[in-house]
Amino acid sequence: MAEQRVALVTGSSSGIGEAVARRFADAGIRVVVNSARSVAAGQQLAAELPGAHYVQADIAVQADAERLVAETVEHFGRLDILVNNAGTTTFVPHADLAGATPEVWRRILDTNVIGTWQTTVAAVPHLKASGNGAVVSISSIAGSRPAGSSIPYAVSKAAIEHLTRLLANVLGPEVRVNAVAPGLIETPWTKDFTAIAEHVRQAAPLRRVGLPEDVAGAVLALVESAYTTGAVLGVDGGAHLL
């Protein structure tokens, strides 16, 4: 019997990351749950998933990102899948240019882009050793459209999408690198997006707001898609057509 695969899901104590962790566990994949601050929630989720392990780490801090990968490999002896889900934002209207201060830019880019980069770099040797390594990063519809909680956030997601293509180009054939770009998803971050949610329900082809489980299904599909790399898969109910 083949040894179970191991997945590290960053930012997985709630929302999309939690749904991904649960979907992986249902598929027989052992999971490392991670969060920067929500330690109790992360520990509780890991306790609920068969054979899961929790590691507290802030991927924006290089030493933390490297320790997160190291502890994953130390605990399980391998790493087959990395899901770059951890991210942050600040809500700034796009027209409020002064509100998108350099501090806001640095905080968002430090986590969303640099954090993703340094976690991936730390994971690559282990993903190559797996023989079937896979990276899936969580982008956003804001990465390709003038949308999102702030301009810095949207730019960070555009960076994630191009980083996906660049990494796919240099890490094949040992490691496949893809991304998913969700539209509006029901999470604690979006609970007050009532006007946008109603617009999606009225206008998007699938006539509903997405669920974290919708994104989790797409992530698992990319992990299992052996001939797909460098792809950015929209998970938005067709909202990109509007």
pLDDT of residue 2: 60
- Burial annotation 84-120 (CB, 10 A radius, 16+ → b, else e): bbbbbbbebeeeeeeebeeebbebbbbbbbbbbbbbb
Considering the candidates 24, 54, 76, 153, report the single residue annotated as catalytic: 153
Q: How do 175-182 and 6-9 pair as beta strands?
A: unpaired
Which is nearest to 93 in space by CA: 20, 27, 153, 174?
A: 153
Burial (CB < 10 A; 0-12, 13-18, 19+), residue 40, is exposed
Structure tokens belonging to residue 23: 């979907």
| Poorest-pLDDT segment among 1-5, 27-31, 182-186 | 1-5
What number does CATH give the domain 6-236? 3.40.50.720
Closest CA to 17 of 27, 7, 5: 7
Enumerate the domain spans of the chain: 6-236
Known active-site residue 153: yes
Question: Average per-residue pLDDT in the chain?
Answer: 95
Q: Which tens digits make up the pLDDT trace of 156-187?
A: 999 999 999 999 999 999 999 999 999 999 88
Q: In this predicted model, what pLDDT tens digit does every residue of 180-232 receive, in sequence order? A: 999 999 887 777 778 888 888 998 899 999 999 999 999 999 999 999 999 99
